[in-house]
Chains A and B, each alone.
Chain A
Amino acid sequence: MAEPQPVLQMTGIVKEFPGVRALSGVDFRLFPGEIHALLGENGAGKSTLIKVLTGVHSLDGGTITLDGESVRFASPLQAQQAGISTVYQEVNLCPNLSVAENIFIGREPTRAGRIQWKRMRREAAELVDRLGLDIDVTAPLSSYPLAVQQLVAIVRSVGTGDSVSGGSGTKVLILDEPTSSLDRGEVLELFSLMRRLKEQGVAILFVSHFLDQIYEVCDRMTVLRNGTLVGEHMVRDLDQVGLVQLMIGKALDQLEELHDHQLHSDVGETLLKAEALGRAGGIAPFDLEVKKGEVIGLAGLLGSGRTELARLLFGADQPDSGTVSIGGKQVSMNAPNDAIGAGVAFCSENRKTEGLVPDLTVRENIILALQAARGWTRPIPASQRDELVAKYIKALDIRPANPEARVGQLSGGNQQKVLLARWLITQPKLLILDEPTRGIDIGAKAEIQKLVVSLSEDGMSVLYIAAELEEVLRLSHTIGVLRDRRLVAQLTNGPEITTSRILETIASGEHQ
């Protein structure tokens, strides 16, 4: 197949944020009439690339050519006028306005400054019709489900492009995770609209976490990792296992590694049981059983629903369905307070924003959860408090060992330990650790892992979420594999379980 001229070419794109190089020299091209997937884990630079292209962010280096002409957009409006339209993950429309208005707002047909409502409704209806959709354009947008709103957003993009350059204005349509909250039927409707636009010669850039969808609808894909280009492939040339390897950046055989640590086998009776627990847009209903003293590791790509699962168990998000029982008693998990009361502790992955109070001292941060559990009217006696704090500072080797130091000044590893100490002091039955080792040095990492092992030996159950599969494999009795916001498999750890086995499960979604 002779390759035609790309409609859009981005070369050597560089984007820096204070302290972070979000994109370093990324190349990207897009051909007319193709659906092109942009892939990578969270933080790989997909969104940044799109934002640089559409003028939301300014460009720090590199060139963008559209139809052979060098362009640089200062705002999304300019990009739209040049024929690049974007539909974001969240529907960025105004739910309080009618469908027709949402399609036309900003470029309503007017005569002498007066909006021509009839003409606007007629033209909106024609556009909707041309794209093969069945939507009443006079109804308010909020009367339609999210999926239809998503379609309206696409109609708007197409319509905006049309009005600018007359007839076939939209050259590039960017769909940034449009499917993340749609159900299967809705996804199919979206796909058929995408294919129709593709036939009309529109180049579509499609971002999705759902690998199956990529294989279903896309022609070509570009993979990013840590802000660099990993490769551009035709979808038919690369299977899912290969793709996951590209995204994670490790070949399977590199990951083969024997775990030297012997897991203790002293696992007791069931502590927590979740049945059909789920939340729309977060994670599909799942069953999970946690036994006393058991470590359950959760493995999956970033954005696969690991954190969402944990947040449900902690009551940080409210489930739509399912039940949780702890120690055989059903409990309602509607707020973190319920979970804390039931003996569940949660160390958040964003320790800075969701866990610690950086301006308070180590002592105050450690005592926070215990005080909350006791109720604010019953202060902990000072002597008992100092004793507890000193004990945990010693046990976890928090440095500096000064209870009056401000937490904000501690290193990442030590902050993590403070957060751990806070929850350990309440003596939880189940400890949920969401990426406890992220961003901390290797020594502190090993200490935290050792701590997890010793806690579980003492009979505490731990739900352990980590990006590194080796870590999960080393610590866990059971490994829950997540993919596309679904708990696809629960593997009992043993000699036959290897990181490559887990990777295969992540890639295929099948429990072999």
Chain B
Amino acid sequence: MSATTQTPTTPASSTASKAARLLGDRRLPVLATAALFLAMYIGGLSRYQNYGFAEPQVFLNLFIDNGYLLVAAVGATFVILSGGIDLSVGSVIGFTTMFTAWLVERQGVPLVIAVVLALGVGSFGGFLMGYVIHNFEIQPFIVTLAGLFLFRGLCLVISKESISIGDASVSSLAQTRVSLGLGELSIGALLALVVLGIAFYVLHYTRFGRRVYAIGGNEQSAMLMGLPQGGTKIAVYTVSGFCSALAGLLFTLYIQSGDPLHATGMELDAIAAVVIGGTLLTGGSGYVIGTLFGVLVLGLIKSLIQFEGTLSSWWTKIATGVLLCAFILIQRAMTARKKT
């Protein structure tokens, strides 16, 4: 034997090229979701043509009816991209509806101040959860589960019964429609789209956004590359808390009441929308645009079932479950090939 060392040849090159092909198409899952949405929409057009499905307003209603979910899902996208999870979303939304209704109806607080307070409480809740997750190195699952119970409990502390909002400014705000020519959008839907746009900019054109991706890709590496991963993590949960509170406000506007049981389990809808939108649950890969399509797909399922008329609304859940399962399997196939 000669003195030269022959290290074993790694199969990295062959698997890497395989991974390259797949990851070169990182937009693939988003495109798949968009295609699915389109297919479902076209299917709906052909089946319910005579029932007014072709009206542009039916499409726009998807945004009106799911604006709050879109905002919540955008927050969840940040968290999931960073490799975490936020289970407190639904509770924060529920709490926000209760809190706002209570402030406006029972305490006579001006709407603007109630909004600011609600957003503040939601963001602070997210900040606290992020702080605990980072500083005590506890799994996000458990910390945000605690947040879920905490906020749901706080709802009941405010009142055990629902509070309907009779405030004139709220109802006029809720009724306001902005015409787009073909149809019209509510204030809530427009706000949701603005949030989506800001989220896209932040994730792709700011250092903070890239840090979210970096941490989701490999947290250990991010730290060793000198990125402030702790601050980023806390910020991510703060963003999610803020988005949940904003979603809560939109939800309040949508149904004009506060109820301790509002939005129970909505965190799961938000997570489902993010995952169906092609964001990897393991973090680091995905687009907030995908989340939009995820929300639209979920909303369209609801609409289609309504148009069908004879189906129980529980079919929404069943369809969501099937889709989620399919998308998780696709993700699994992608990550399995990524690993050597």
Contacts and interface: CB of A to CB of B under 8 A. Distances in A.
Given A140-B23, A146-B12, A182-B7, A105 B210 contact: yes
B1 interface: yes
A115 B214 contact: no
A108 B6 contact: no
B7 A184 contact: yes
A212 B5 contact: yes
B7 A105 contact: no
Contacts of A76: 224, 226
Q: Count chain A CB atoms within 10 A of each CB in B8, B13, B217, B225 and give the residue with the most.
A: B8
B131 interface: no
A184 B210 CA distance: 35
B181 interface: no
Contact of B12 (A77, A147, A279): A147
Contacts of A187: 7
Contact of A488 (B1, B12, B285): B1
B1 to A, nearest CB: 5
Nearest to B218: A94
Contacts of A485: 7-8
Contact of A145 (B1, B16, B224): B16
Interface in A263-320: 278-285, 320
A464 to B, nearest CB: 24
Contacts of B20: 139-140, 142-144
B23 A142 contact: yes
A145 B218 contact: no
Interface stretch (A344-352, A438-446, A504-512): A504-512
Contacts of B3: 212, 508-510
Given A147-B12, A183-B7, A105 B205 contact: no
A280 B15 CA distance: 13
Contact of B6 (A75, A145, A184): A184
A510 B5 CA distance: 11
B288 to A, nearest CB: 15
A96 interface: yes
Contacts of B5: 184, 210, 212-213, 484, 486, 509
A415 interface: no
A431 interface: no
Contacts of B210: 97, 101, 105, 108, 115
B207 interface: yes
A72 B11 CA distance: 41
Nearest to A284: B8
A91 B5 CA distance: 22
A114 B205 contact: yes
Contact of A144 (B8, B16, B204, B206): B16
B7 A115 contact: no
Given A105-B227, A484-B7, A143 B221 contact: no
Nearest to A483: B5
Given A105-B225, A105-B227, A106-B225, A96 B216 contact: yes
Nearest to B227: A106
A278 B7 CA distance: 12
B19 A142 contact: yes
A145 B206 contact: no
A416 interface: no
Interface in B237-252: none
Nearest to A114: B205
A179 B225 contact: no
A181 interface: yes
Contacts of A284: 6-8
A93 B7 contact: no
A75 B226 contact: yes
A183 B16 CA distance: 15
A91 B222 CA distance: 11
Interface of B is mostly: helix
Contact of B338 (A88, A142, A183, A278): A142
Interface residues of B, number: 40
A92 interface: yes
Interface size range on A against B: 35 or more
Contacts of B24: 139-140, 143
Contact of B23 (A143, A179, A181, A320): A143
B218 A93 contact: yes
Residue picked from B7, B11, B216, most chain A C-beta under 10 Å: B7
B220 interface: yes
Contacts of A144: 16, 20
Q: Which of B24, B205, B218, B225 has the most chain A CB atoms closer than 10 A to its own CB?
A: B225
A80 interface: yes
Contact of A181 (B10, B221, B285): B10
Nearest to B24: A143
Contacts of A182: 7, 10
A236 to B, nearest CB: 15
A156 interface: yes
Contacts of A101: 210
A53 to B, nearest CB: 14
B285 A96 contact: yes
A95 interface: yes
A333 to B, nearest CB: 18
A97 to B, nearest CB: 6
A106 B226 contact: yes
B4 interface: yes
A281 B24 CA distance: 26
Contact of B224 (A92, A180, A279, A282): A92
Contacts of B17: 143
Interface of A: 75-77, 80, 86, 88, 91-97, 101, 105-106, 108, 110, 113-115, 117, 139-140, 142-147, 156, 160, 179-184, 187, 210, 212-213, 278-285, 320, 484-486, 488, 508-511
The 4 A-B residue pairs whose C-beta atoms are closest, nearest first, are A143-B20, A94-B217, A77-B226, A96-B217
Interface of B: 1, 3-13, 16-17, 19-20, 23-24, 26, 204-207, 210-211, 213-214, 216-218, 220-222, 224-227, 284-285, 338
20 contacts: A86-B224, A92-B218, A92-B220, A92-B224, A93-B221, A95-B218, A96-B217, A97-B214, A105-B225, A106-B227, A113-B206, A143-B17, A144-B20, A181-B10, A181-B12, A182-B7, A184-B7, A210-B7, A283-B8, A284-B8
